[in-house]
């Protein structure tokens, strides 16, 4: 092999080693200067507390002005009932059972019990216990039978008698005639279901579709406290619960209210540690 060829090969190898060593030093310096990523783990959210109600199902008819609500949940847990009008708080015992006296809004409404939602009908005029209701739009009226399409799209049948009462809640709870009921009306039919799943109707409310209960609850720790604010929540002129002077920094409280246009309007304040 000629001398010039050998020298060219050796020169090529040397240049390659120089470039390789330079690249290694560069990568090492880059790694040394890059800040280490220390991502914070996302806090694990607690699972929703289950709530099992005793002898109460959606669309049941409540006749007692003060209703004794009982059920089962996690032991020693807060049980918060939120209606469109009021809030109620109690605590379950060591076995998870709870009992609380609540009042419900008149007619059909959505009630929140912790994170459980239930639709209930309260009627002070309905005197019989154990009744339920069919709710939805009237799609057909034939003789003594009314066909109702419920919010889930299911068709249900309700039978009526001569003594069935018809109340138009759209006109300040005025009693009307059966002939005033028309296809397309939204109704709450109250009564008792027979073996054929036909509701024997005692009372019919001509009303409007139920609106979602937009009241919610927040568990917060007081970090800022003034006469007009708790943290970033502006206090209204009136609310249900303790006065500001009875609260203190670091205390955990439950607040209920409604958020509109990113503004939380407070309705109630509870101090869970004081609930027994």
Phi, psi of 165 (to 5 degrees): -90, 140
Q: Quick check: 43 pLDDT over 80? A: no
Planar angle of CA 73, 69, 76, nearest 5 degrees: 30
What's the predicted TM-score (pTM) here? 0.79
Residue 41: the pLDDT is: 30
Cα distances from 201 to residues 134, 161, 205, in angstroms, run 9, 7, 11
**Digit-coded pLDDT (tens) for 114-152:** 989 999 999 989 989 999 999 999 999 998 999 999 999
Q: Where are the domains of the chain?
A: 52-122, 132-207, 215-274
Q: Quick check: 30 pLDDT over 70? A: no
CB 102 within 8 A of CB 67: yes
52-122: CATH homologous superfamily? Immunoglobulins (2.60.40.10)
Average pLDDT along the chain: 86
Measure the CA–CA gap between 132 and 188, rounded to whole angstroms.
Answer: 10
CB 96 within 8 A of CB 71: no
Residue 228: Cβ-neighbour burial (10 angstroms; 0-12, 13-18, 19+): exposed
Q: Give me the CATH code for the 132-207 domain, please.
A: 2.40.50.140
- Mean pLDDT lowest for which of 7-11, 185-189, 242-246? 7-11
pLDDT tier for residue 48 given thresholds of 50, 70 and 90: low
Q: Quick check: 4 pLDDT over 90? A: no
**Digit-coded pLDDT (tens) for 174-185:** 999 999 999 999
Measure the CA–CA gap between 264 and 234, rounded to whole angstroms.
Answer: 8
Q: Which residues have CB under 8 Å from 251's CB, separation 6+? A: 221, 222, 271, 273
């Amino acid at each position: 092999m000629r001398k010039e060829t050998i020298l060219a090969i050796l020169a090529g190898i040397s240049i390659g080693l120089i470039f390789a060593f330079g690249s290694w030093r560069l990568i090492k310096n880059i790694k040394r200067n890059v800040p280490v990523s220390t991502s914070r783990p996302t806090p694990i959210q607690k699972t929703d507390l289950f709530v099992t109600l005793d002898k109460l199902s959606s669309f049941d008819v409540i006749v007692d002005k003060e209703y004794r609500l009982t059920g089962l949940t996690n032991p020693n847990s807060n049980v918060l009932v939120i209606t469109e009008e009021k809030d109620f708080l109690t605590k379950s015992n060591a076995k998870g059972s709870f009992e609380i006296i609540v009042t419900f809004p008149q007619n059909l409404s959505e009630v929140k019990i912790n994170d459980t939602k239930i639709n209930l009908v309260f009627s002070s005029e309905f005197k019989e216990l154990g009744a339920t209701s069919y709710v939805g739009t009237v799609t057909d009226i034939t003789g003594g039978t009314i066909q109702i399409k419920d919010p889930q799209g299911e068709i249900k049948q309700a039978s009526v008698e001569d003594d069935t009462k018809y109340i138009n809640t759209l006109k300040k709870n005025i009693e009307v005639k059966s002939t005033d009921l028309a296809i397309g009306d939204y109704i709450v039919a109250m009564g008792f279901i027979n073996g054929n799943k036909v509701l024997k109707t005692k009372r019919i409310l001509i009303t409007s579709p139920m609106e979602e209960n937009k009241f919610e609850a927040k568990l917060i720790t007081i970090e800022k406290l003034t006469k007009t604010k708790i943290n970033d929540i502006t206090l209204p002129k009136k609310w249900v619960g303790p006065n500001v002077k009875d609260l203190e920094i670091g205390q955990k409280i439950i607040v209920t209210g409604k958020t509109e246009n990113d503004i939380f309007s407070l309705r109630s304040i509870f101090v869970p540690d004081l609930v027994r």
